[in-house]
Chains A and B, each alone.
Chain A
Amino acid sequence: DQQVKQNSPSLSVQEGRISILNCDYTNSMFDYFLWYKKYPAEGPTFLISISSIKDKNEDGRFTVFLNKSAKHLSLHIVPSQPGDSAVYFCAAKGSGNTPLVFGKGTRLSVIA
């Protein structure tokens, strides 16, 4: 049973436009959420995170929104750049000494 779901395997966006990647979770005990970015032949790298006490966290072109009632989070990239083309993984964890649970990833292609 997947606790973290990324229902869109892929997304194509034109350069300069907004990219919106979505993630849903089922476990109400999750209280910390992260996005990782992965380029081919490399390991995932941390991008941005958000705690459940917030509903928005912004870092430059990247903003993560959290809707706890809907158990939904999204990553917005504005403006999108060709270098943003990668696989994006959503991850979540509960409190205490618990590991991350990852979604299957969404492949973003930013077209110049």
Chain B
Amino acid sequence: DAGVIQSPRHEVTEMGQEVTLRCKPISGHNSLFWYRQTMMRGLELLIYFNNNVPIDDSGMPEDRFSAKMPNASFSTLKIQPSEPRDSAVYFCASSLKTGKDTQYFGPGTRLTVL
């Protein structure tokens, strides 16, 4: 299995621009998670989906952040407009279900907003 796939691996953009991060979960997994990693806050859960339905988006920092999962094999995290404080590594993870199943993480997208 290819594992969780994220693209792009690196993104550098200017403040005010729209950024779209992409994730392909492991085939057959029903739960998908978006995390953000920063030095100050560690690994924060932004939003998670079960069977393509958003369950909890309370971790999404602001209305500038939105996430979609149009089908079982694809999800996007969009930031519009982006700000320098959004600079972080964004991880996508998937699991068979949200319970005690192991979460498998993608390699992350390093976002830099200038």
Residue ranges of B at the interface with A (Cβ–Cβ < 8 Å): 4, 33, 35, 41-45, 48, 50, 55-56, 91, 93, 97-100, 102-108
Contact = CB atoms under 8 A, between A and B. Distances in A.
B82 to A, nearest CB: 22
Interface of B is mostly: strand
11 contacts: A34-B102, A46-B103, A49-B100, A96-B99, A99-B33, A100-B45, A102-B35, A102-B44, A103-B42, A105-B42, A105-B43
Contacts of B91: 43-44
* Residue among B4, B97, B100, B102 with the highest chain A CB neighbour number at 10 A: B100
Interface of A: 32, 34, 36, 41-46, 49, 51, 89, 93, 96-105
B114 to A, nearest CB: 21
A106 B61 CA distance: 24
B42 A102 contact: yes
B42 A99 contact: no
A42 B110 CA distance: 11
B42 A93 contact: no
Contacts of B100: 32, 49, 51, 93
Contacts of B102: 34, 46, 49
A42 B107 contact: yes
A43 B92 CA distance: 9
Given A43-B4, A43-B108, A100 B103 contact: yes
B53 to A, nearest CB: 12
A46 B105 CA distance: 9
Contacts of B98: 97-99
A93 B103 CA distance: 12
A43 B107 contact: yes
A46 B4 CA distance: 14
